Structure 1
Amino acid sequence: MSHLPNEELISAAAGELGQAGASELGVIASLRAQGHEPEAVRAAIEQCELRSKAGIAWKPGGQTRQHWLLTRDGLEQASHPLVAQFHANLIVQSGVNHVIDLTAGLGSDSAAFIEAGLRVTALERHPDTAAFLAHNVPEATVLTRDCTEVDFAHYLAAQYTIFIDPARRVGSRTADGARALPERDPERWSPSLSFVTALADRFQIYMKAAPAFAPPRGWASFMISVDGTLIEMFTTNAMTGVHAVMIDSRTEQANVISTSPNPTKSVANDICIGGFLYELDPAITRAGLSQQVAGELGVSPVGEKGIWLFGTSSVPFAHARQYEVHDHFPIKDVKSRVAHLPGIAIKTKDSRRGLKELRKASGKGDHNDWAIVVLGSGASELAVLVQREP
């Protein structure tokens, strides 16, 4: 890429695309008629599409991101701004002042590090993406380099920490444009896990990975969700323990629940009508903290996967959806037991049964207020009719 996309041309394209009845072909023709080169017009249109696609997910970044240059792959791989903010705050707490972002991409995390007061050296191996990175995060020192080719001895004398988000997909996009498949073998990531752990002998490492990843022994793990959707697992050799991080995009606040050395034992309750089911935030479930949370709330885990808790009374808890229990029965009776309802949601996360199978058995369409929660399997399988609390 010889030149960066022109911001004035991007703004002009966005203005025309925003007009009633506008079409992409029409806007392209209009801009070409104004004397703009075809390549420049295509680049401007692409930036408009990508900025529109970024949408609300990038709004927590504020005005600093409204003129960022984007790529399709880079946008899909970039950290959510609020998650990047959490990364930065965690690193600041460790006392370092300079971060080497080994896989900077478009700069989502690097920007958060800068905003947190850290100095940043950002590496990106693809020249075009590196040019966008330098535009997006001008305060960072940008190096167009593969991190596996860096002489890290140069950085040992100063107080540096390393942030890394290995590429975890292999192959090319599918014919319909879908992303490449995730690579489950950490040694086939780019860079590999062994490369990362070798650096851990000399540096503090902060690494982003998929939620299913098991961190190296002795490293801390942070399961991170945003508004109840599990986003990632974040791990570091600078801390220990298991942590669930729940981020609320409305308040832009992160709430952390960590493993307790002396957790309160949970109580044992049988599900009964008039009681309450609690659907835990997936960050808590994936972190394996369901039992601990149940003990702290005075309720009991139910089902097989730690997703659900049950209590005989209502207990306020910000990181769970609460449902009142109206009935419970064997799966075979589901159709007759919900016949009086306008529709039901079906929740099968704790069950091996398929959603389509149960939807057909219920004879009902979807509904926001009422739900069937399927717990357990085999002889212990139970259908629980619940109503969501406001």
Structure 2
Amino acid sequence: MSARDDALAAAMAEPDPSSLAAAARLRRSFDADDAAWALAQAALRRSAAGRFARADEMLFTRAGLEQATREPVARWRAARFVAAGVTQVWDLGCGIGLDSMAFAEAGLRVVAVEADGETAAVAAHNLALVDGDAEVRVGFAEEAAVPPGAAVFLDPARRTAKGRTWNVADFTPPWDFVLGHLASERFVAVKLGPGLPKELIPASVLAGWTSHRGDVVEATLWNRLGTGTEAVVLPHELRVTSPPALEVRPLGRYLLEPDGAVIRAGLVSAVAPGSDVWLLDRHTAYLSADEPVDTVYATTFEVDEVLPYDVKVLRRWVADRGVGTLEIKKRAIDVDPAELRRKLRPKGLGAATLILARTLAGTVAIAARRVGR
């Protein structure tokens, strides 16, 4: 083992690697740089615990951990590469290697390319945990000589000194380079943020939005899977060529809240094929039904009561029922749920959900409870 390995083992044994006491103890036995590196890695591993199966063996950078693909999403995407007949994938801009690890675990030959040498070293360590033959190269994505027949995965950096950006002039690698790969004959997937502006989506690709455990985590562009949009609510995939048109009708016995990925993909009307569902408002992504609807693409609530959207009325309702735990949901209504919750002064042992929704009768507060999934 190297001195850094020994330092990391000592840092991992510390109750709080970020404490001054831990730093003092490690500096008694290790070089200051090695001690600082080890303590930082131990803290990052603890932050990653529960998110990544091998977090206690991996190395991280802070930026890489913040931007890393969730493991179930990376594995789902790798499986799609395999299903497409891909045998080799070049991960251009691999970061700390989370996606590359998923590709390798799926049996694909991986070549990972990263411009930053320190980050590339972290990726090499992580990839070696699952595939000793995987290759990590230091270099720019646009300079990589990808061989014919190899697939490409791209995750363009979309950050500036001011934070995240959708100005394509600030993307790394350049957006024209990304578009060139999407227009190529090879199999290509491009990971982007879930806030992807629709005007950036080429007409020739499949654009998908993926959610995991209720969070919309990313958008992906695919160049060899047809065109249109899809919603992926892991592990389920919703792709509809022509979503049905729905009527706008009064609130029924049930309210359906589509998953965020479904909303971003524009597939709200397709969440429950064969069921009699309708919209509460033409421009709001709430559906209703008179019968319970079983769908993985939406949460179904049974309506208990419909109240005026009035703070005094709602405060009295909360107090009368002894509601202490109050969930407030809303769509297309200019209100801060946290601020409204303070105004309603929840206190007691009860729990309730209020859904603020636009309806044909105006904006109302719907007291409801989850049913089904």
- TM bin (shorter chain): 0.7 to 0.9
What is the CA deviation profile of residues 51-104 of structure 1, one whole-angstrom value per residue up to 9, with x for unaligned ones? Answer: 011121113xxx4x4311110011111111111111111111221211111110
Correspondence for 1:7: 5
Per-residue CA deviation, residues 105-144 of structure 1 (Å, 9 max, x unaligned), is 1100101111111111110011111111111113321110
> Does structure 1 residue 51 correspond to structure 2 residue 38?
no
**Structure 1 residue ranges without an equivalent (≥5):** 172-179, 248-253
Preserved contact between residue 371 and residue 387 of structure 1 (Cα < 8 Å): yes
Task: Kindly indicate whether residue 28 of structure 2 is the aligned counterpart of residue 30 of structure 1.
Answer: no
Pairing 1:324–2:319 present: no
State the identity %.
Answer: 28
Alignment of 1:307-346 (within 5 A): 307-332=285-310, 333-343=313-323, 344-346=326-328
How many angstroms apart in 1 are the aligned matches of 2:87 and 2:346? Answer: 57
From 182, 190, 197, give the equivalent of 2:179: 197
Q: Is the 8 A contact 1:4 1:132 kept in 2?
A: no
1:171-194 Cα offsets, whole Å, 9 max, x none, are 1xxxxxxxx521111232111221
Counterpart in 2 of 1:183?
Answer: 165
> What's the offset of the Cα at 1:337?
4.0
CA contact under 8 A between 2:11 and 2:22: conserved in structure 1?
A: yes
Distance, in Å, in 1 between the alignment partners of 2:332 and 2:278 is: 15
Alpha-carbon contact 2:3-2:30 (below 8 Å) kept:
no
CA distance in structure 1 between the aligned counterparts of 2:117 and 2:68, rounded to whole angstroms: 17
The TM-score with structure 2 as length reference comes to 0.87
Equivalent AA in structure 2 for residue 326 of structure 1: D
Alignment of 1:96-135 (within 5 A): 96-135=86-125
2:159 to 133, 154, 169: 169
Rounded Cα–Cα distance in structure 2 between residues aligned with 1:270 and 1:27 = 62
Contact 1:13 1:44 in 2 (8 A): yes
Aligned length: 359
Equivalent residue letter for 2:192? A
Cα distance in structure 2, aligned partners of 1:350 and 1:8: 55
Checking the alignment, whether the CA contact within 8 Å between 2:18 and 2:43 is kept in structure 1 is: no
Opposite residue 31 of structure 1, the aligned amino acid is L
Gap runs ≥5 in structure 2: none
Name the one with the larger strand percent: 2
Q: Name the CA shift for 1:340/1:5 in 2 (closer, same or farther; >3 Å).
A: farther
**Contact 2:183–2:223 (Cα < 8 Å) also in 1:** no
Q: In structure 2, what is the Cα distance between the partners aligned to 1:52 and 1:259? A: 41
Deviations 1:191-223 (A, max 9, x none): 122111122333332100011213211210111
Q: Which residue of 2 aligns with 1:177?
A: none
| Equivalent position SS for 1:224 | strand
Moved more, 363-372 or 210-219: 363-372
Output the amino acid matched with 1:211. Answer: P
Structure 2 distance, partners of 1:363, 1:133, is 49
**In the alignment, which of 135, 140, 149 is matched to residue 134 of structure 2?**
140
Q: Deviations over 1:306-357 (max 9, x none)?
A: 5322111222223433322122233124334444222332212332233355
Bigger Cα displacement from structure 2, 339-348 vs 232-241: 339-348
CA contact (8 A) 1:345 1:367 kept: no
Equivalent of residue 242 in structure 1, options 222, 229, 239: 229
In the superposition, relative to structure 1, how do residues 370 and 304 fare at CA in structure 2: closer, same or farther (>3 Å)? farther
In 2, Cα distance between equivalents of 1:366 and 1:201:
59
